[in-house]
Amino acid sequence: MEDSTDFLATKIPSLEKFEDNLRCPICRELLLRAPKITECGHTFCGECIDRHLNNETRCPLCRLEVQRAQLRANKSLESAVEEWKLNRDKLLHQLTLEQNSNTREHKDDNEKHEHTGVLNNVEIQHNPNVKTMSVCPICSKTLPISEIQGSHIDTCLQTNSSRSKRKRPFFEPIPTKKLSLPFFATLSDAKIRILLAENGLISKGSRAKLIQRFQEYFTLYNNNLDLKTPEPVSNLRKKMSLWEKTQNNNTNDLKELDAKEWTSQHQTQFDELITSAKKTAEKKNTPEKNSENVINLTQTEPQTKLKNGEVSESDNESEI
């Protein structure tokens, strides 16, 4: 989990504002997925603005009229965001260190530890007893050459044959032609069902659901082709089945998250709001009016606030 407020606790807090401009105002993710610019000059993920335009043909930011046909790829920004993404963690880490070194005095110790670490590595590499290493062509693991040429390659071939098919579908063709959005008003339910079936999609449900389903697929499909490395159609189908799930019920799969921690976070704030409110109200009850009634109700305990980056580090890979 990351967002632009990560920079608030660093040496250059204004990078929060900077990064906000590299994020989609709709989903708040970095603009890495074929961002599109509107006529009014605002940029969103291709998918996000497409979905929004099904709802309302105005820019979410400035409310000017926006036509889907007038959207253009914002390639310069996309490249800039790619570079930013590559360096973000390093920069955040460095700026946090520098910020901390202003307040703490342990910086020198840390540096010493880092240095000895580097030295140790170098020594290991130069140790003549260390076996010559190489990269296995199948699983890309770095192993001693003797091992790769020995038993490893056979076991690796066996265990990876099924997995690599799933992971890297070389032979699945990437589509090149975009879908066109039909004028639904002129299509019968049956025609829309056929259209869905032709694209390998579920063709059940109300007319409204059929149309929504095709619109969502259209959004995923066409924006996928604008990505630098488009995904195979089977991945889009997987995304569609997630979409079906979110349509059917409001339960979302949060089992993997430490959601208990998430939900308990605000309980302390709640308790404090109530306590201060009681105090205020009691004071109000007393005859003489007290000018100190205004209490900052959100004076939360430090432990209720999240420390930088502490929450769900494992969620970095939350892309669908």
Partner 1 sequence: MPPKRMSTAVKRLMTEYRQLMKDPPEGISAGPISEDNFLEWECLIAGPADTCYEGGVFPATLVFPADYPLNPPKMKFVPPIFHPNVYPNGEVCISILHAPGDDPNHYESASERWSPIQSVEKILLSVMSMLAEPNDESGANIDASKLWRDNREAFNARVRGDIREALGL
List interacting residues with partner 1 (CB under 8 A).
1, 3, 5, 8, 25-29, 48, 51-52, 55-56, 58, 60-61, 63, 242-243, 246-247, 250-254, 256-257, 259-260, 262-263, 265-266, 269-270, 273-274, 276-278, 280-282, 284-285, 293-294, 296-298, 300, 304-306, 311, 314-315, 317-320
The one-letter amino acid code at 37 reads: I
Q: Tell me: does residue 77 bind Zn ion (CB under 5 A).
A: no
Q: Which does 208 bind (CB under 5 to 8 A by kind): Zn ion, partner 1, none?
A: none
Q: In the sheet where 72-73 sits, what is the strand order?
A: 43-45, 35-37, 72-73
Which positions from 43 through 62 interact with Zn ion, judged by CB under 5 A? 45, 48, 59, 61-62
Helices 207-226, 46-55: crossing angle, 10 deg rounding? 150
The first and second tokens of residue 240, run together, are 């569609």
Q: Does 24 bind Zn ion (CB under 5 A)?
A: yes
Q: How far is the CB of 299 from Zn ion (least distance, A)?
A: 35
Q: How far apart are CA 176 and CA 180, in angstroms?
A: 13
85-103 burial code (b ≥16 CB/10 A, e <16):
eeebeeebeebbeebeeee
3-state class (DSSP) for residue 36: strand
Partner that binds at residue 103, options Zn ion, partner 1, none, CB closer than 5 to 8 Å by kind: none
Q: Which range binds Zn ion by CB under 5 A, 32-40, 147-155, 172-180, 285-293?
A: 32-40
Task: Please give the C-alpha separations between residue 107 and each of 9, 104, 119, 211, in angstroms, as whole numbers.
Answer: 17, 7, 19, 59
Pick between residue 104 and residue 284 the one whose CB is nearest to partner 1. Answer: 284
Backbone angles phi, psi at 262, to 5 degrees: -55, -50
Stretch that binds Zn ion, among 17-25, 121-129, 133-141, 253-261 (CB under 5 A): 17-25
Q: How far is the CB of 179 from partner 1 (least distance, A)?
A: 20
Nearer to partner 1, 158 or 250 (CB): 250
Smallest separation (angstroms) from partner 1 to the CB of 150? 30
Q: What are phi and psi of 134, to 5 degrees?
A: -150, 170
Residues 6+ apart with CB under 8 A from 262: 311, 312
Query: Which residues in this chain contact Zn ion in the complex, by CB under 5 A?
Result: 24, 26-27, 40, 42, 45, 48, 59, 61-62
